Each structure stands twice: as structure tokens, then as C-alpha cells.
Amino acid sequence: MKKRINLAAIPLLICLLLPNYSLASEITIRPFLVDETLEPRDSITKTISLTSDYDTRKAVMFVTVNEITIDSAGEIKEFVSPVMTDRTNTITSWLEITRGRVELMPKESVEVPLTIKVHPYAEPGVYHAFIGFVEAPNRPKAEAVAMAGDAKGVIVKVTIADERKDSMRISSFIINRFVTGDNNRSIDIEVENMGDLPSSPAGEIIFYDSKGVEVTSVPVDYGGKAIAPGEKVVLKSSVPLDNDLGRFKANISLDYGENQRASLYDTTFFYMMPMNLMIIIFIGILLTAVIVALLFRRAFAQDAYDDEDGDEVVMYVKDGHDAKPQDHDIDLKNK
């Protein structure tokens, strides 16, 4: 009896000690790499070919999809668990492939379609995924093998080119025509984002006098906040000049953009007329006018009563005057 038990145990020991060659994969997968450069909303379909090299056994496989990271040498660095949300930066949500069982008869070849549908708002970048074809008794076992990096499959590389553009413009650049005091020193710059990317403009306003000489400058920004595409904002600043008087020019220069740097320019003119200086000038003009008026009045008064001879008064009598003189009249007739 004991001998029979030992003899019966020999086949079992052989099965446990010898390598399990029946589990070795004999499936050929082509291609090894799917490399595509796409744009948001693009949709393409590729074909993955599976060929069974078994002579007699049927192969049963499960398809797994995992996001992966690639190191500098191009090797798979990490498998990432699938994310079951449709995000703009998750390649696994863009891949459509059968998740059912794939069965191959001996020496049989099948083609499995792979569709890549890029999210309409996909973020630019390079994305990698691994599509595994794992021989396993069930899906959980197949997914565990894939996460361990022991599965055969296809690497999918999708490059989303950044076609978005930075584009902004200055809609208006307003300074009061006459700056008379602190109540009207404000500067309003309306900026519109006409591009596809949020951007934060920043720069400065340079002030020049009437001779074209730079006087001063003041920085301009939006507090580090970004302006969304299609949005209009008003940047605020103030004229930094104090008691200057005259005509001035203001030049604004703003830089913006992340992918492609660009600049905006605009110019406006204004007059500095501080109220205290205007009052002093007005009083000075008024005093000058009064003094000039007094001088003219005095000069004309002296000319009216100035008699060069000093003794004679010239009188004229109309010819042919026949009026009868009265006693109190002065008779001016010739005698």
C-alpha cells in the first residue's frame, strides 16, 4: 500500500517540480508601438494583429489598458491604475478596445481594432498607455499580471500638439486730457484676451515731456492673475507726476504669453495743469492786467490835460454867426 502511494505521488511531484511550460505565452503581437500625433477631437482607428503559435491548444486572453510612464531610455517606468473618469489629460479615457475575452485557436490570427478618440479639450503633451493581452483564467488575474509588468502588449504613444495661441490687445488707454489734481490722475487700460490661453500681461508706462525727454515711469500689471480667453479687464494705474506743468506723452508697453512671448504698445497725450499752480498763474495774470490797466489810464489822463503853451486856450468861432449878444455874453466880434 505504501509503495502504491509513492508511485502515485511521482507524477504529482514531477508536475510541481518541472517548469510549467504550458503557461508560457506563444502569442505574437504586432505592432509593438502605436505612435500618433493628434489634435483635440481627432479620431483614428488602428489594427492590432494577434497570432497563435500553439499547435494544439486554444489561447484565451483578456485585454488590459493602463497608463504608463516612460523613462529617458524609453523603457516602461511605471504602470498606473486605470482612471474611470473622462479627463482631458488621461489617455486611457481616449482608447476604445474590446474588453471581452479574446480566443485564438491553434495557428489562428485575429485583428483587434483600437480606436483613439482625443478629448475635445485635451491638454497638450505626450501621453503613453500600455495595452496588454494576457493569458489568464479571469480578468482580475490578467490585470494583476499587467500591473506587475509581466504582460505582452502594445505601447500607445499619443502626442497632442499645442496649437493654442496667445493673443491680446489693448482696447483703450485713457488718461484725462487735463490733469489738474489727485481726483483725476487715474489711468485706465482695457485689455482683451483674444487667444486660446489664459495670460497675465505686465509692463510699464513711460512718461515723456514736450521735448521728448523721459520724465518717469510706473509699473502696470493685473496682480499676477491671468486673464481668461475672451475676457476683458481694466488695468488701473495713476499719473505719478506732481507739480509739473505742460504737455506730456505716455507710452504703455505690456508683455504677455507663455508659449510665445509678445508685446502690446499704445500712446496717449495729456496736459498737466495742477490747480495750485493754475491759481498762482491766474492771480499773477490778474495782477498784471490790473497794473497795466492803471498805467494806461494814468498815461491817457495826463495826455488829455497836457497843454504845451501853458497860457493860451484856442477857441474857434463859426463864420456868419449873427446871434444877438446878451449883456452877459462875451462879444467876440471884431471891432
pLDDT for 85 beyond 80:
no
Sequence-distant (6+) residues with CB within 8 A of 44 are: 36, 38, 115, 116
Q: How confident is the model at residue 291 (pLDDT cuts 50, 70, 90)?
A: confident
Q: Is residue 193 part of a domain?
A: yes
Q: Which of 227, 245, 276 is the last residue before a domain boundary?
A: 276
- Do 183 and 254 lie in a common domain? yes
Contacts of residue 266, defined as CB under 8 A and 6 or more positions apart, other chains included, come to 170, 173, 189, 251, 252
**Distance from C-alpha of 201 to C-alpha of 167, rounded to nearest angstrom:** 11
Q: Could you tell me if 137 and 258 lie in one domain?
A: no
Average pLDDT of the chain, as a whole number: 81
98 has a pLDDT exceeding 80: yes
- The verdict on residue 31 lying in a domain is yes
pTM: 0.51
Q: Looking at the structure, do residues 231 and 250 belong to the same domain, yes or no?
A: yes
Query: Pairing state of beta strands 186-193 and 101-104?
Result: unpaired
List the beta bridge partners of residue 33: 155
pLDDT at residue 231 tops 80: yes
Cα 78 to Cα 32, 66, 74, 143: the distances in Å are 18, 10, 12, 14
Return all residues near 189 (Cβ < 8 A) that are at least 6 apart: 170, 172, 173, 174, 220, 234, 235, 236, 237, 252, 254, 266
* Residue 95 lies in domain: 26-160
Asked whether 189 and 67 are in contact (CB, 8 A), the reply is: no
Mean pLDDT of 31-52: 94
Q: State pLDDT tens for residues 132-180.
A: 999 999 989 998 998 888 889 999 999 998 777 888 999 999 999 998 8
From 93, 128, 160, the end of a domain falls on 160
Written as one letter, the residue type at 287 is L
Same domain, 52 and 141: yes
In a domain, 288, yes or no: no
Residue 159, strand partner residues: 37, 126
On whether residue 248 sits in a domain, the answer given is yes
Q: Is 296 part of a structural domain of the chain?
A: no
24 pLDDT above the threshold of 70: no
Give per-residue pLDDT as tens, 56-82: 889 999 999 988 888 776 667 666 665
Distance separating alpha carbons of residues 42 and 186, to the nearest angstrom: 49
Looking at the structure, do residues 154 and 33 belong to the same domain, yes or no?
yes
Which is it for strands 178-179 and 262-272: parallel, antiparallel or unpaired?
parallel
Nearest Cα neighbor of 44 from 152, 159, 133 is 159
Burial class (CB in 10 A: 0-12, 13-18, 19+), 98: exposed
Task: Assess whether 149 and 197 both reside in one domain.
Answer: no
Spatial distance between the Cα atoms of 68 and 74, rounded to a whole number of angstroms: 11
Judge whether 262 lies within some domain: yes
The three cell numbers locating residue 32: 509593438
Do residues 131 and 82 lie in contact, with contact meaning Cβ atoms separated by under 8 Å? no
Same domain, 116 and 218: no
- d(CA 24, CA 164) in angstroms, rounded, equals 48
Q: Do 128 and 44 belong to one domain? A: yes
Domain stop point among 242, 276, 310: 276
Residue 7 lies in a domain: no
CB-based contact 260:166 (threshold 8 Å): yes
Co-location of 190 and 255 in the same domain: yes
Do 139 and 245 belong to one domain? no
Q: Residue 93's domain is classified under what CATH number?
A: 2.60.40.10
Extract the C-alpha cell encoding 188: 485706465
2 CA to centre of own chain: 86
The helix (H) or strand (E) run that includes residue 286 is helix 275-304
DSSP code, position 218: E
Residue 142 shares a structural domain with residue 209:
no
306 in a domain, yes or no?
no
Comparing 18 with 321, which gets the higher pLDDT?
321
My answer on whether 47 and 102 are in the same domain is yes
**How many domains would you assign to the chain?**
2
